[in-house]
Amino acid sequence: MPNPWRCHDTEGVLSTGHPEAVDFTLAPADNERLANLCGQFDENLRQVEKRLGVEIENRGHRFRIIGEDAAASVAGDVIRALYDHTAREVIGAENVHLQLRSAEADAADARLEADTEDEGPAVSIRTRKGMIRGRGPSQRYYLDAIQRHDLNFGIGPAGTGKTYLAVACAVEALQQEAVQRLVLVRPAVEAGERLGFLPGDLAQKVDPYLRPLYDALFEMLGFERVNKLIERNVIEVAPLAYMRGRTLNDAFIILDEAQNTTVEQMKMFLTRLGFGSTAVVTGDVTQIDLPAGRASGLRDAIDVLRDVDGVSFSFFNARDVVRHDLVQRIVRAYDVRGDDAD
């Protein structure tokens, strides 16, 4: 007789050890929300199974999760959280991935708390979008470091939230009037392509290179608000080459894609910091687009400044990626090849 709990065949593999069964009922009962939770052909539930190594069975809104006790508990938390999201939005694979990442980070933090008595404070950033919190120990350390240091480096692969969290801190500082303006800086280096002549004024020429910063600002402040602040020079867009000779007081400065600065450019930028200012430098030392033979200013700064008081370094790895889980596997694959080459 078929199991009435089965929702679909599973490809998940149960963890070794003593299996645990977690039973719960989703409320309020809503068939449309339940269908959204499960996804087409139960693809959302299958994603949770594969990620956590559990088996998910359901009969309507009644769920049973079978697996190692810790994994089964996390899976239950993920499903309940996703069901709450279905009341506000249609969820998909990205929502499931992000919820899994958050739950795994929380579980890792709980294990860390059990092993150590002193854990860094959980920093919350308040923006128009709402509260933004670090996902996992690396992001939490990064946010805490930005609030405590005048110069901060966020170093790691794409998708780890380096730039997004830096912009969130900048927006909060501006809204609280801790700074008078935001300065967004990026070296104008093509990623292995020749873009040719770019028409327009200075801001228009550098716009394509600063799009990730703009996207984050638009999300947190709104399109019209950002444009008004740019018109009033409260938000300033500047290519790195135009920073020479300036001193930036009462500003929050973000240098993005810093792996593409030269040693001379990095030194020039770091010495622009004025009174009442905070600077965040972000980059990925595995994606350097400088011409052959030119040393990266970001790599050099790591060596030169690692023991300087008042400077913080936050390092991210593939585990901290908060994009599609395939991005994590891509980053790991390149890391492995890099290690083999070394």
Digitized pLDDT (tens) for each residue of the chain, 342 residues in all: 444 443 433 333 333 344 568 899 999 999 999 999 999 999 999 989 888 878 899 999 999 998 877 888 889 999 999 999 999 889 988 888 888 877 766 665 555 444 443 444 566 677 666 677 777 788 888 998 998 899 999 998 888 889 989 999 999 999 889 999 999 998 876 544 444 555 666 556 666 777 778 888 888 888 899 999 999 999 998 888 888 888 899 999 999 999 999 999 999 999 999 999 999 999 998 888 888 888 999 999 998 998 888 899 988 877 777 666 676 677 667 766 655 554
Q: Which of left, alpha, beta for 31 (phi over 0: left; psi -120 to 50: alpha)?
A: alpha
Interhelix angle for 136-148 vs 93-115, to 10°?
70
Same fold for the pair 19-114 and 124-341? no
Predicted model pTM: 0.61
The residue type of 277 is S
**CB proximity list for 26: less than 8 A, separation 6 or greater:** 34, 37, 61, 62, 63, 79, 80, 83
Confidence at residue 76, expressed as pLDDT on a 0 to 100 scale: 92
Contact (Cβ atoms closer than 8 angstroms) between residue 154 and residue 143? no
The residue type of 306 is R
Confidence at residue 243, expressed as pLDDT on a 0 to 100 scale: 86
Contact (Cβ atoms closer than 8 angstroms) between residue 164 and residue 324? no
Give per-residue pLDDT as tens, 203-262.
566 667 777 788 888 888 888 999 999 999 999 988 888 888 888 999 999 999 999 999
274's tokens: 């004025």
Architecture of domain 19-114 in CATH? 2-Layer Sandwich (3.30)
Fold of the CATH domain 124-341: Rossmann fold (3.40.50)
Confidence at residue 161, expressed as pLDDT on a 0 to 100 scale: 86
* Distance (Å, whole) CA 7 – CA 42: 8
Query: Which long-range contacts link 213-220 to residues 24+ away (Cβ below 8 Å)?
Result: 213/163, 213/167, 213/184, 213/186, 213/254, 213/256, 216/163, 216/164, 216/167, 216/168, 217/167, 217/171, 219/129, 220/127, 220/128, 220/129, 220/167, 220/168, 220/171
| Every domain of the chain and the residues it spans | 19-114, 124-341
Buried b (16+ CB within 10 A) or exposed e, 323-337: bebebbebbeeeeee
